[in-house]
Structure 1
């Protein structure tokens, strides 16, 4: 399923109304069960013993075991996952990220500055650049590499999008992007080992696992995972809000009541649900919602569907800047809860503080363009205009 056209929300609503799960046959040998209810998603993502991530987590790899299984955090199950994640989790904890808040704010102010000229501003393109300016700083990556790295990671989540494809098509584009990213981090890792600092790459290099340091391939795989995670989640909550609510009362109400910035930012994450799916495989025969899932069957949890579940979110199809409680699953749940959630939350919150505090009268200056992807739900271009607040 691609999110560049059609209405996934209507499809998910119909699936939520079914008594059991729905099976999707992809071809003669491959298919998967769709998980669209909040409670079922919670079950599948928490029970790593029954639903493993180690064979792969993306539909693009359906039926093919992920070569990074057991090495990359995203495709490693507990207890190995828990041990590997511990130091990275500490480095990305709320208190650690709060110390970076003003540095993040500075990057955001710089990105938004052209909006003050009064002309057309591509908010979508600016937001696609945002995660790299934050993660690049925290990983101590050379600033001259950020734009290139941002494009490569976008390619990896949206290789179906013609704008990000090379002439050779999707598969050739992906191979080239992976080769360049992995080669880049291999070279950088060799250098950083001689000059360790307190950045995230140094944390990975110096982290011990099962009495040993992580191998080069493990370090590189997790660098890739960190960049990918940041580029999927962070840009698309803001772009959804501007693409869908510029010119409405939503932004004016939000700006007039700065005290709601926390709940409104969480609502933006729920509304966008940028990571639309995660893939798991059943390790044993099991029953979910009256449906028998056989050992080895693929199961896809649609986070965007769970975050609109009417049984959990009152008026789930309404954007409510004061929604509370808001136990959305935009970052997943369970052992694989996004390790970078604090970074993403701080970035999104500060982004809206600066955007709504400095500018007003937002209006669309063209038709927003969706990112063509079966994994990330977001916009790549959101042309807007605004004025500087007096």
Structure 2
């Protein structure tokens, strides 16, 4: 999905827009469409078929309201467009598909396990994995930065969930199939629904086997935490544990890999990258800007619990409402010069991690991983050059780059340091 300057709003034919179509995000220009919607129709209805449709919310203020206020908009009927018109089987059992107050009781133990202090325990392990992913760049030959980054989440999620390294590659592919079932590179035989069913079936079967093994070998990993967690005096049932394992690994694979690729696609070959690389004080603000800029989760869906008017539009109880996060994060009323990648942007109240009670529980993990990655990029490489065409993922749920060939200029001594780290 292009992250470029938008075309003028009047040049977009909104009547022909289909925000469900995954090809739009692989080959099209959704930011121009969202920009036109923000200016001309910020709360817009899209009819999907004879019976189904949804409201699109594109302004920051409205997006924050829909995501934050669970008394007006529920997460329990499905949070992604592929569930439009269907009951979410995970409702009430998975954190992402559960409203407060039960959501809060489920979230608190996980939140304690993912504080900054707890997450720091994994810094060395994640750093080693980042070294492993960046090693192909040390030879000065073209390497696929995006492909490497798609393996980054398992460096953290795999480690923190206690999953065997030999399974990480398979899990990465299965989760990508879950978020991009229409992408030609990840689609299986049959249609997108078949790909989605295959990915879900294999992931849930995998975690079912992990639970069976883990029962007699509980540790301090996140899966053991789910198995020992009690909600209202009762431990989670197996289905709930499986659903939350799926949610954790899916969240990791959505949030982390597409932030560095989105940022690098914008700043590579520009003075911004040199400036960011040369000033350690800009690491934190730069990472937050990378999150705003890339907005890796394209959308979250909610359902209205009561009739409500939003910018003159009457949303009825039961209507689906889709928040487009990338659009909210380019709203000129919330962000000055929103189509400029500003490594000094502060404050930066982006909604890349969502908002309210469902604010991404793993945001500490994502931020640590991204800071480690960018630190390694800045300390061990003198620069980067594009080495081929950028290819975008076909997915209405994830804004991501799946291929990004580039060549790195390696600093003296970096290859030796990496070899020592991985020995």
Q: Give me the TM-score of the superposition, normalised by structure 2.
A: 0.91
- Looking at structure 2, the residues matched to 87 and 66 of structure 1 have their Cα atoms a distance apart, in angstroms, of 23
Aligned to 2:99: 77
1:99-141 CA-partner distances (Å, limit 9, x unpaired): 2222211111111011010001100110000101211000010
2:345 paired residue among 295, 300, 323: 323
- In structure 2, the residue matched to 1:169 is 191
Counterparts of 2:250 and 2:158, CA distance in 1: 12
Residue 244 of structure 1: CA displacement?
Answer: 2.6
CA contact (8 A) 2:42 2:58 kept: no
1:87-108 deviation line (CA, Å, top 9, x unaligned): 1111111111122222211111
2:174 to 149, 152, 156: 152
Give the 3-state SS of the residue equivalent to 2:402 in structure 1: strand
What is the Cα deviation at residue 252 of structure 1?
A: 1.1
Is 1:91 aligned with 2:108? no
Residues 140 and 199 in structure 1, CA contact (< 8 A), matched pair in contact too = yes
1:291 aligns with 2:313: yes
2:284 corresponding residue in structure 1: 262
Alignment partner, residue 201 of structure 2:
179
Contact 2:266–2:341 under 8 Å retained in 1 = no
Q: Could you tell me how far apart the structure 2 residues matched to 1:100 and 1:143 are?
A: 15
Corresponding residue of 2:233: 211
Which of 77, 84, 89 lines up with 1:67 in the alignment?
Answer: 89
Inter-partner Cα distance in structure 2 for 1:321 and 1:242: 12
Post-superposition Cα deviations, 1:149-196, rounded to whole Å, max 9, x if no partner, equal 111001100111010011223222111111111011111112111111
Unaligned runs of 5+ in 1: none
Asked if 1 retains the 8 angstrom alpha-carbon contact of 2:42 and 2:56, the reply is: no
* CA displacement, residues 173-232 of structure 1 (integer Å, 9 cap, x when unaligned): 111111111011111112111111000000000000111000000000000000000000
The structural deviation recorded for 1:19 is 6.0
Give the distance between the partners of 2:401 and 2:169, measured in 1 at CA.
18
Could you tell me whether the CA contact under 8 Å between 1:251 and 1:356 is conserved in 2? Answer: no
SS in 2 for 1:12: helix
* Equivalent-residue separation in structure 2 for 1:115 and 1:298 (angstroms): 45
Confirm whether residue 306 of structure 1 aligns to residue 328 of structure 2.
yes
Q: Which residue of 2 aligns with 1:333?
A: 355
What SS does structure 2 have at the residue aligned with 1:164?
A: coil
Q: Conserved in 2, the CA contact under 8 Å of 1:73 and 1:84?
A: yes
Other-structure match for 1:366: 388
Give the distance between the partners of 2:143 and 2:299, measured in 1 at CA. 30
State which of 5, 26, 30 in structure 1 corresponds to 2:52.
Answer: 30
Runs of 4+ that moved beyond 4 A: none
Q: Is the 8 A contact 2:68 2:355 kept in 1?
A: yes
1:225-267 per-residue CA deviation (whole Å, 9 max, x = no partner) reads 0000000010001011222322222211111112100000100
Corresponding residue for residue 224 of structure 1: 246
Deviation, 1:20, is 5.3
1:201 aligned to which of 214, 217, 223 = 223
- Indicate yes or no: 2:190 matched with 1:188: no
Alignment partner of 1:280: what SS? strand
Task: Name the residue aligned to 1:56.
Answer: 78
TM-score (norm 1): 0.98
- Secondary structure of the residue aligned to 1:322 is coil
What is the CA–CA distance in structure 2 between the aligned matches of 1:210 and 1:303, rounded to whole Å? 33
